[in-house]
């Protein structure tokens, strides 16, 4: 959440920066008008409460002097009624101000590309060279179904579209991928966490999913509970309403969890394969850092994600997202996109973001600076990586003309030494 004081003090700058994220200037004007109304009501209420205190003291003094206090009591009742009315108005306006502020996205970092969509993203670097096939590469869903390791048809029968069964070596490959990722992140100093998969609304609010993006998640009917769309949510909220000891910063967390997403608004996109599922596994990285260290931590996190692909031998590139393509809570985002031969293009496999103090304000996560003053930490998150998409990339990049798939060397210890998945041996 943005600091309302900052918006008051720099309205034109805030309008200009948020305009690059699709926020109209009138929205800021309306917010500031409501905030002014809120402050005026607060002054009136406090003034009347002070007057009520004075009247109460006058009544007490009159009673001590055995004087008639009827007039003062009547006056106090009138003041009490006015206060009740003002406080009701104040509560209503405060709710409006809070809701409007909660729906404003984070301010973009001044160095990122400005533009309304992905066409304005900027490539930072390419890593690895896409393989040249001497046969027509197949899509990962065809490879998986032909090998008997992915079953989309039965996934749809049991749950609906965008669900899948992994079978035999397919299930083993998925498990190998996420265990490899967790082990690699542990080497980089991340503490592995197994968090809750269902969280409350306050937790969803803390990371910015609520109130604006409720249609993108699965909620438990009749309860204040939501299935997590990413492990970022429970990991970031680990320190909600707490002060992190300064000597512990930066804090690194990693976790494997399922992610549940309704994919509202994605009708017709990636209807086949593992790219856009309602349920998928993801290894997440989350960091808590001092403000002056957070952008260095973002670059390290981005490289942590890239290292996984390099060790798996998967070509990828890194792009910086434009203001219009960036997520709601992010101030800067680097996407890593893996090469998918069948589609002849790069597809997102990780998104690493610095949210600065945006989430920390919502979740009230602080630390003490060198002067002992409470400050908000900066929070960062990134996929390390999306597991299903990694499996898809392995199937496509390591496919052979006979339909088999070679196992990347880094994964073979996790696959019992298996070097290749073949049609003759689809079972783990």
46 annotated ligand binder = no
Q: DSSP assignment, residue 282?
A: E
d(CA 237, CA 282): 18
350 annotated ligand binder = yes
Mention every residue, 6+ apart, whose C-beta is less than 8 A from residue 110: none
Element (H, E) at 240: none
281 annotated ligand binder = no
d(CA 244, CA 362): 16
Alpha helices (runs of H) in 218-325, residue ranges in sequence order? 232-236, 294-312
Q: Out of 39, 276, 361, 412, pick the active-site residue.
A: 276
Q: Where are the beta strands (DSSP E) in 128-170?
A: 150-151, 165-166
Q: DSSP assignment, residue 309?
A: H
71 annotated ligand binder = no
365 annotated ligand binder = no
Nearest alpha-carbon partner for 256 in 189, 203, 183 = 183
Q: Out of 337, 389, 396, 404, pick the active-site residue.
A: 389
Q: Out of 56, 310, 348, 412, pick the active-site residue.
A: 348
Q: Out of 52, 172, 261, 362, pick the active-site residue.
A: 261
348 is catalytic: yes
262 annotated ligand binder = yes
267 annotated ligand binder = no
230 annotated ligand binder = yes
Distances in Å between the Cα of 129 and the Cα atoms of 126, 338, 339 are: 8, 11, 9
Query: Under a CB-based contact definition with an 8 Å cutoff, are residues 180 and 411 in contact?
Result: yes
231 annotated ligand binder = yes
Nearest alpha-carbon partner for 285 in 171, 410, 187 = 187
Helices 169-187 & 294-312, crossing angle to 10 degrees?
140
263 annotated ligand binder = yes
Exposed / middle / buried, residue 354 (Cβ in 10 Å: 0-12, 13-18, 19+): buried
Query: Under a CB-based contact definition with an 8 Å cutoff, are residues 86 and 41 in contact?
Result: yes
Query: Under a CB-based contact definition with an 8 Å cutoff, are residues 48 and 78 in contact?
Result: no
Dihedral sign from CA coordinates of 288, 293, 299, 303: negative
Q: Out of 351, 362, 396, 404, pick the active-site residue.
A: 351
52 annotated ligand binder = no
What burial letters (b/e) apply to 75-88, b meaning 16+ CB within 10 Å? bbeebeeebeebee
Q: Where are the beta strands (DSSP E) in 220-322?
A: 226-227, 242-243, 251-260, 279-289, 316-320
351 is catalytic: yes
Q: DSSP assignment, residue 85?
A: H
d(CA 325, CA 84): 46
Q: What is residue 342's three-state secondary structure?
A: coil
Active site residues: 261, 276, 348, 351, 389
- Extract the annotated binding site for ATP: 261-263, 348-351
- Extract the annotated binding site: 230-232, 261-263, 284, 348-351, 381, 383
- Extract the annotated binding site for L-serine: 230-232, 261, 284, 381, 383
């Amino acid at each position: 959440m943005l600091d309302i004081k900052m918006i008051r003090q720099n309205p034109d700058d805030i309008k200009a920066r948020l305009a690059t994220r699709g926020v109209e200037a009138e929205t800021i004007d309306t917010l500031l008008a409501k905030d002014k109304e809120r402050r005026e009501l607060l002054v009136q209420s406090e003034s009347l409460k002070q007057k009520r205190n004075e009247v109460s003291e006058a009544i007490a003094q009159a009673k001590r002097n055995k004087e008639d206090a009827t007039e003062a009591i009547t006056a106090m009742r009138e003041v009490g009624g006015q206060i009740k009315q003002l406080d009701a108005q104040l509560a209503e306006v405060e709710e409006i101000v809070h809701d409007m502020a909660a729906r404003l996205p984070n301010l973009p970092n001044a160095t990122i590309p400005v533009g309304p969509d992905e066409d304005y993203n900027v490539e930072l670097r390419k890593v690895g060279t896409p393989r040249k096939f001497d046969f027509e590469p197949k899509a990962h869903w065809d490879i998986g179904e032909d090998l008997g390791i992915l079953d989309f048809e039965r996934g749809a029968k049991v749950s609906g579209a965008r669900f899948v069964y992994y079978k035999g070596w397919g299930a083993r490959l998925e498990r190998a991928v996420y265990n490899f990722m967790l082990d690699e992140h542990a080497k980089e100093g991340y503490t592995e966490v197994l968090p809750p998969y269902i969280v409350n609304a306050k937790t969803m609010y803390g990371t910015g999913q609520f109130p604006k993006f409720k249609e993108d998640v699965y909620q438990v009917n009749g309860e204040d509970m939501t299935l997590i769309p990413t492990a970022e949510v429970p990991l970031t909220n680990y320190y909600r309403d707490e002060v992190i000891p300064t000597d512990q910063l930066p804090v690194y967390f990693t976790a494997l969890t399922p992610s549940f997403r309704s994919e509202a608004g994605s009708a017709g996109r990636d209807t086949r394969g593992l790219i856009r599922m309602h349920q998928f596994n993801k290894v997440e990285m989350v960091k808590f850092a001092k403000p002056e260290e957070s952008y260095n931590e973002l670059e390290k996190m981005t490289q942590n994600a890239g290292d996984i692909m390099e060790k798996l031998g998967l070509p990828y590139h890194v792009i910086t997202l434009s203001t219009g393509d960036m997520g709601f809570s992010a101030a800067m985002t680097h996407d890593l996109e893996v090469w998918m031969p069948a589609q002849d293009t790069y597809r997102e496999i990780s998104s690493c973001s610095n949210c600065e103090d945006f989430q920390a304000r919502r979740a009230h996560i602080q630390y003490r600076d060198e002067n002992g003053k409470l400050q908000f930490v900066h929070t960062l998150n990134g996929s390390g990586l999306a597991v299903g998409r990694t499996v898809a990339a392995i199937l496509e990049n390591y496919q052979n003309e006979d339909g088999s798939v070679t196992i990347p060397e880094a994964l073979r210890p996790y696959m019992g030494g298996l070097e290749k998945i073949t049609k003759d041996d689809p079972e783990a």
